[in-house]
Amino acid sequence: MIGVGIATFALVIVLSAFNGLQNLVEDLYASFDPDIKITAVHGKTFDSDTFPKKKIIKIKEVQFYTQSLEDVALFKLNNKQAVATLKGVESNFYKMTGLDTLMYEGKYRADTKSIHYLNFGYGVAYNISLYIDDIVPQELSVIVPKKGNTKTFVPGDEFNRNFATPSSIFSISPDFDSKYVLSSLAFAQNLFEKPNQISSIELKLKSGADKKQIKATISSILGEKYRVQTRYELNELVYKTNETEKWITFLILTFILVIASFNIIGSLTMLFLDKKNDIWILKTMGANDNLIKRLFFMEGMLINIIGGFFGMVFGIVVCVIQIKFGLLRLNGGIVDFYPIDLRWTDFLNITIMVLSIGAIASWLPVRFLTRKYLINNK
């Protein structure tokens, strides 16, 4: 029972931990990536004026609609410089993603007539030694090549250079922090010389909306000129990797459960040999072979069920304690405590696995021993 209980306990803990990590990854990507993203099939940008915006907004499940334009730019502050992706977004982007609540330093500010504000990922800010000073705001230059094959003998004339003021530093995950700098959409369109051009439409859906169904609806409206992707499709490799790791770990721990179940085989074998005289007493009282088989089979199943039950209970207790009090800390991690998420589907899978392995481990010795000591000795 202890062997089965420990294996079941480990299954509950590990699967719940993987669930917590999966939720954490989804929350982090939801802080930057939309539920649905629309891009052009051909080319990097498309005209926002010709896009059927009204038809998309009319879809009742769409909660937020925002446009963005992104491309690579050089950011220069004093003697430090870094290449990153400048993403121009509309003001509702921050409300849609909740990014304004993930600021590591400073806060989001909307552009004014004279000042353009930038929001830096932590990794990019680190590379140019940027810090946010509200008293003496720093100003940096954003540099991109001019459109077309511009050739000039004057140094710097081949580039567009705009000045902006950093207003905040956000921290989501290294994938985003070391890649993106956010600006207003108007600033990006002016810098890249792409008026009315956007690279994507980003949508947030209402809670409970079926993303696949909404994707199909939008695809039917837009036709073949546009590519429509859900957040899962945008980060398919990440999600599939997390899911694969979880189930590979589940199979490894199931193998440990199989090894623990060998104890049931040994226990039933020793019990059968120890109770041979009692078995013959039962037979003289009228018990048949099937009744004796059921007695020992139920003995094995009781060992398995009791061990699995207490292992599951202790696993749930430990998970709840971690959720409530955070016993296991993550020093330097994105979150302070190791994330845990209990799911009933995992308990169903664990129960099925424990009962299946226990039934096989109980049936094999009973079948062999009764055939050897009962049927052959009639």
Last residue within a domain, chosen from 187, 208, 231: 231
Q: Which helix (H) or strand (E) holds 139?
A: none
Mean pLDDT, rounded, for 259-287: 80
Check: pTM over 0.95? Answer yes or no. no
Indicate if 48 and 124 belong to the same structural domain: yes
State pLDDT tens for residues 338-362: 889 999 998 998 999 889 988 888 8
Judge whether residue 374 has pLDDT over 70.
no
Q: Work out how many domains the chain is built from and give that number.
A: 2
What are the Cα distances from residue 49, in Å, to 38, 52, 53, 196, 197?
15, 8, 9, 7, 8
Whose tokens are 């139920």? That residue is 298
Mean pLDDT, rounded, for 72-80: 91
Indicate if 84 and 157 belong to the same structural domain: yes
Range of the domain at 307: 2-26+238-377
Q: What is the pLDDT of residue 117?
A: 93
Indicate if 188 and 243 belong to the same structural domain: no
Last residue within a domain, chosen from 231, 264, 292: 231
- With H, G, I as helix, E, B as strand and everything else as coil, classify residue 82: strand
Indicate if 95 and 242 belong to the same structural domain: no
Indicate if 101 and 213 belong to the same structural domain: yes
Indicate if 247 and 287 belong to the same structural domain: yes
Mean pLDDT, rounded, for 319-341: 82
Judge whether residue 233 has pLDDT over 90.
no
Q: What is the pLDDT of residue 287?
A: 77
Indicate if 103 and 187 belong to the same structural domain: yes
Last residue within a domain, chosen from 181, 215, 231: 231
Confidence of residue 152 (pLDDT cuts 50, 70, 90): low
Q: In sequence order, what E strands does the chain have?
A: 36-40, 46-47, 62-77, 80-89, 103-106, 117-121, 140-145, 159-170, 180-184, 197-198, 200-205, 226-230
Indicate if 187 and 39 belong to the same structural domain: yes
Confidence of residue 151 (pLDDT cuts 50, 70, 90): low
Indicate if 20 and 167 belong to the same structural domain: no
State pLDDT tens for residues 159-198: 889 999 999 999 888 888 899 999 999 999 999 999 999 9
